[in-house]
A and B are shown apart, each in its own frame.
Chain A
Amino acid sequence: DTGVSQDPRHKITKRGQNVTFRCDPISEHNRLYWYRQTLGQGPEFLTYFQNEAQLEKSRLLSDRFSAERPKGSFSTLEIQRTEQGDSAMYLCASSLWGTSYEQYFGPGTRLTVT
């Protein structure tokens, strides 16, 4: 069990560029969550998957954001036409639905939009 991993750890981009983040959950976990954390705040829910199905999206997830989990394993979060307000830490978590309700978090991807 290597834990949840995220790549990259840091991303600096210019406004208007597209960025993509990757999350690899704990291998047997069937649920995967994305959260966003801005400075001085707690994480806020963005979306989640059960296996490959995206089951819920927050109102925070504008149409510039898209997430996928194509084979029920890793997930990607893409932000198109980035804005300065997108600067935040993007956290991924996974859990084993049906067995426990604990979510295990990755180290996060810190996005800075200049």
Chain B
Amino acid sequence: AQSVTQLGSHVSVSEGALVLLRCNYSSSVPPYLFWYVQYPNQGLQLLLKYTSAATLVKGINGFEAEFKKSETSFHLTKPSAHMSDAAEYFCAVSGRDSSYKLIFGSGTRLLVRP
């Protein structure tokens, strides 16, 4: 069975500092991996995805993530945090069964201090 673990339910950074949100996955087959962002009372917006092409994936708003098979990790980074990055971030895995349903982590709330 697939699962996702996001380390740290809350991460606080200063504006302009590096953002690092951690995600580890468990999957018996090479997975597809995704990061989504959710602003209060809104749906989820896709930030980036890994589908077995390049291991370093660039997404929207300056975010990127690196797939490391040996560490079963897919951490999300951004070199310089902006106040508008404050939101909830979810890592998700999709197996390669016929459904491609998403299994989500419990989320990390990013706080950006001025």
Contact = CB atoms under 8 A, between A and B. Distances in A.
A107 B44 CA distance: 7
A45 B101 contact: yes
Contacts of A41: 106-107
Given A42-B107, A101-B51, A101-B94, A106 B43 contact: yes
B99 A44 contact: no
B90 interface: yes
A6 B43 CA distance: 10
Contacts of B9: 40
Contacts, number: 60
A95 interface: yes
Contact of B100 (A35, A101, A110): A101
Interface string A37-80: 00011111100100000011000000000000000000000000
Q: Which of A31, A42, A105 has the most CB of B within 10 A?
A: A42
Interface string A82-104: 00000000010101010001111
Interface residues of A, number: 27
Most buried by A among B9, B43, B45, B107: B43
A25 interface: no
Contacts of B46: 102-104
Interface of B: 4, 9, 32, 34, 36, 41-46, 49, 51, 90, 92, 94, 98-107
Interface of A: 4, 6, 31, 33, 35, 40-45, 48, 55-56, 91, 93, 95, 97, 101-108, 110
28 contacts: A6-B43, A31-B100, A33-B101, A33-B102, A35-B102, A40-B9, A40-B106, A41-B106, A41-B107, A42-B90, A42-B105, A43-B44, A43-B104, A45-B103, A48-B99, A55-B98, A56-B101, A91-B43, A91-B44, A93-B44, A95-B100, A101-B49, A101-B94, A103-B102, A104-B46, A105-B43, A108-B42, A110-B41
